[in-house]
Amino acid sequence: MRLSQYFIPTIKENPSEAQIVSHRLMLRAGMIRQSSAGIYIWLPTGLRVLNKIADIVREEQDRAGANELLMPTIQPAELWQESGRYDAYGKEMLRITDRHDREMLYGPTNEEMITDLFRNSIKTYKNLPLSLYHIQWKFRDEVRPRFGIMRGREFLMKDNYSFDLDFEGAKASYNKMYVAYLRTFARLGLVAIPVRADAGAIGGDLSHEFQILADTGESTLYYDKGIESFDLASLTGDIDDETVAKLQSYYAMEEEKHDADNCPVPVEGLKTAKGIEVGHIFYFGTKYSESMGAKVAGPDGKEVPVEMGSYGIGVSRLVGALIEANHDDNGIIWPEVVAPYKVGLINLRAKDENCTAACDALYNKLLSADIEVLYDDRDAGAGAKFADMDLIGLPWQIIVGPKGIEKGILEFKNRRSGERVELTENELLVKLG
RNA sequence: CGGGGAGUGGCGCAGCCUGGUAGCGCACCUGUUUUGGGUACAGGGGGUCGCAGGUUCAAAUCCUGUCUCCCCGACCA
């Protein structure tokens, strides 16, 4: 993409409303714009990152055997009246009345709808286990949205729902997601600590929160540092129960629930860090299947309410969380897997014909090699270009100026380390390929 | 929902106390200049001062109401 044709309104100064670094950088790098409190417009680069994260989440869900579908954002109130949550949910739920005076709501989550779908479609244990998910916008009318898209009212969430005949099955489904989550976050280059959690408003007794480590996190964690030594990214195929049990045996608690006196981990094995919650998984049994009559026939022919669990990942929140974990004073530093583009090409002298011809040619070569490139072809000062490119945070930068052209070399910069090397065009193409 | 703060060109702000023709920096447009870390100079465009009432000869400024946004705290992917 040529920057001269791109919509990426960067801002030099810090917007006064942005308090945390990810919010500030997302506004400054032209990724988002606020529409109203807790509701954002996703601009081209922001959207690209959001989609890349969603793709990784999707791949890992699919790998775990889940089925993707798409439920609507607007739901009928009746389903929620059936489960009893229409009253329980309170003001956080955005309620809407349509032209026929029918009560509707903008979904904050989808347990009711998926349970309704299930009960209308599945009647026998032979169709279990079943795992259904979608990646859809949610709305929770938070009293005080803040931190940009990290705590917005409208947010993109992957929510998965599992259906099993009995507790053993449900637990297996739960563990499958547990592993899928660790894999997902590992692929994003994040250290995610699974913290034992209360099941909270959704109810149930088996629950973990996934907290990624970042200095600006909202919660303080205490955990057994042994868990960090697990190389989750390299785990493939089915992970045996033993490994899962081992993983889940590692101690990890939020500050409020951490009891220093009775902690099973000795002080020297304990680490403390700030975390951002990016995922939450629950087993909640028959809470909804009972109230909504989602039953299946077992092998004995008797109908039983189906055992369920639900599993959320805050996809839009992950964009912010990734920035919290990957930035410096100059801007964002994207991990390659989610970077809006892999490389930025800077033409230092757009008015110089030779320089521009060389840049144009290189740009076309990169495009035909399927390398995602953002080409700064604007007629602007070098300083402005460097600053913008650092702010946007692509993992690699190619810097082309008249000096280098004369010598037949390009500069290749690593955004994270700041290291610059001089390469010929061929060497560069090999490196990026 | 409790406490605090703010709404003035795209962004950041001053002006308000003490009413009297709306200003600064950045950004933007034109020209010249500069060219490896946000160049410099000159000229230019853009604002019913959140909205609605009220007081006054006169309101960004004073009064009342209202909306929105932000921050701290309690709650959430």
Phi, psi of A423 (to 5 degrees): -135, 160
Q: What is the mean pLDDT of residues A208-228?
A: 87
Q: Closest Cα to residue A66, out of A168, A179, A156?
A: A179
Within 35-64 of chain A, which residues have Cβ less than 7 Å from strand B? 36-38
**pLDDT value at position A418?**
96
Q: Is the CB of A132 under 7 A from strand B?
A: no
- Both tokens assigned to A343: 């490389």
User: pLDDT tens digits for A113-145?
Assistant: 999 999 999 999 999 999 999 999 999 998 889
Rounded Cα distance, A215 and A21, in Å: 11
Rounded Cα distance, A41 and A369, in Å: 32
Rounded Cα distance, A318 and A316, in Å: 5
H/E element holding A275? strand A270-285
How crowded is the C-beta side of A252, counted as CA atoms within 13 Å?
Answer: 26
Rounded Cα distance, A140 and A381, in Å: 44
Q: Is the pLDDT of residue A235 over 80?
A: no
ipTM higher than 0.85? yes
Q: Are A61 and A354 in contact (CB under 8 A)?
A: no
Amino acid at site A194: P
**pLDDT value at position A379?**
92
Q: Are A151 and A145 in contact (CB under 8 A)?
A: yes
Q: Where in chain A is the domain with CATH 3.40.50.800?
A: 343-432
Q: Is the CB of A17 under 7 A from strand B?
A: yes
Amino acid at site A331: G
Q: Closest Cα to residue A215, out of A38, A31, A418, A20?
A: A20
Within 298-317 of chain A, which residues have Cβ less than 7 Å from strand B? 312-314, 316-317
Rounded Cα distance, A417 and A384, in Å: 20
Q: Is the pLDDT of residue A245 over 60?
A: yes
- Measuring alpha carbon to C1', the residue closest to nucleotide B38 is A384
Q: Are A112 and A71 in contact (CB under 8 A)?
A: no
**Integer distance in angstroms from CA A383 to C1' B30?**
23
Cα-Cα-Cα-Cα dihedral sign, residues A225, A229, A234, A239: negative
**pLDDT value at position A234?**
64
A24: left (phi over 0), alpha (psi -120 to 50) or beta: alpha
Q: Is the pLDDT of residue A84 over 50?
A: yes
The model's confidence at residue A233, banded by pLDDT at 50, 70 and 90, is low
**Integer distance in angstroms from CA A392 to C1' B32?**
32
**pLDDT value at position A46?**
96
**pLDDT value at position A205?**
58
**pLDDT value at position A301?**
96
Task: Indicate the average pLDDT of chain A.
Answer: 92
Count of Cβ atoms closer than 10 Å to residue A161 Cβ:
24
Cα-Cα-Cα-Cα dihedral sign, residues A332, A37, A81, A98: negative
Rounded Cα distance, A316 and A360, in Å: 34
Q: Closest Cα to residue A270, out of A216, A315, A210, A227?
A: A227
The model's confidence at residue A324, banded by pLDDT at 50, 70 and 90, is very high
Whether the upstream peptide bond of residue A305 has omega within 30° of 0, thus cis, is: no
**Integer distance in angstroms from CA A147 to C1' B70?**
11
**pLDDT value at position A47?**
96
Q: Are A288 and A115 in contact (CB under 8 A)?
A: yes
Q: Is the CB of A200 under 7 A from strand B?
A: yes
Q: Where on strand B do bases come within 7 A of a protein Cβ?
A: 1-2, 11-13, 25-27, 34-39, 68-77
Burial letters A104-115, b for 16+ CB under 10 A, else e: bbbbbbbbbbbb
Rounded Cα distance, A233 and A24, in Å: 30
Say which residue, A236 or A92, is predicted with more confidence. A92
Q: Is the pLDDT of residue A203 over 70?
A: no
Q: Is the pLDDT of residue A327 over 80?
A: yes
What is A3-331's CATH number? Answer: 3.30.930.10
The model's confidence at residue A232, banded by pLDDT at 50, 70 and 90, is low
Rounded Cα distance, A192 and A3, in Å: 35
Q: Where in chain A is the domain with CATH 3.30.930.10?
A: 3-331
Closest nucleotide to the alpha carbon of A146, via C1': B70
CATH of A343-432, one of 3.30.43.10, 3.40.50.800, 3.40.50.300, 3.30.2320.80: 3.40.50.800
